[in-house]
């Protein structure tokens, strides 16, 4: 039995939903669409949205669909943010319009084109704040930015998520290393 799927989703004021082949969620921050699998149907009751499944074999899809819909409602009403930090001497980032330029110790700067619906703000050239209404897209863009220079386990230099806990490895030791 899906406990997540049974929880109702509160609809904030200003958020409108339209039920069809998929669930259309519209709010002040944008418009998102949630796919509805066969056998799971949404029901709007006042200011809440609930999902009902036809049989117990759809329990996993029930919880997934409810979670995706809840993320869409939160995204169009308040939005999502993801923060990254750049650590390393000479490592920095700059943004002009929809193009972010990273200097990460390579022989060339890296240009990263931001997708539609994702905004980037940079503080002090090393703190990046991604904002947008689609949680999945924000997470994917953050992961792609982190993959440009993942944190090094020996010096902990690179692009990391804010508050990411990293394990630092010890370097070589012995008679030959000086």
Q: Is the pLDDT of residue 87 over 90?
A: no
The full set of domain ranges for the chain reads 3-77, 80-161
CATH number for the region 80-161 comes to: 3.90.930.12
Helices (H) and strands (E) in the chain, counts: 3, 13
Tell me which of 3.40.50.1370, 3.90.470.10, 3.90.930.12, 1.10.10.10 is the CATH number of domain 3-77: 3.90.930.12
| 137-164 pLDDT tens trace | 999 999 998 898 888 888 888 888 888 7
Rounded Cα distance, 26 and 16, in Å: 5
Please, are residues 148 and 112 in contact by the beta-carbon 8 Å criterion?
yes
* Topology alike, domains 3-77 and 80-161: yes
Confidence of residue 59 (pLDDT cuts 50, 70, 90): confident
What is the DSSP annotation of 91-155? Answer: -EEEEETTEEEEE-SSSS-EEEEPPTTEEEEEETTTEEEEEES-HHHHHHHHHHHHTTSPPPTTT
């Amino acid at each position: 039995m899906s406990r997540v799927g049974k929880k109702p989703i509160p609809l904030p004021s200003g958020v409108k939903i339209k039920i069809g082949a998929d669930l259309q969620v519209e709010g002040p921050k944008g418009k998102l669409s949630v796919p509805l699998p066969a056998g799971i149907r949404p029901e709007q009751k006042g200011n809440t949205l609930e999902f009902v499944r036809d049989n117990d074999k759809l329990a996993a899809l029930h919880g997934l669909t409810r979670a995706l819909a809840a993320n869409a409602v939160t995204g169009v009403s308040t939005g999502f943010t993801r923060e990254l930090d750049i650590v390393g001497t000479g490592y920095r980032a700059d943004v002009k319009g929809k193009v972010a330029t990273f200097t990460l110790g390579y022989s060339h700067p890296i240009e990263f084109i931001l997708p539609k619906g994702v905004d980037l703000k940079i503080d002090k050239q090393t703190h990046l704040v991604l904002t947008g209404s689609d949680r999945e897209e924000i997470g994917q863009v953050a992961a792609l930015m982190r993959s440009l220079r993942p944190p090094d386990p020996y010096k902990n230099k690179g692009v990391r998520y804010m508050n990411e806990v990293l394990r630092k490895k010890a370097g070589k030791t012995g008679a030959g290393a000086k």
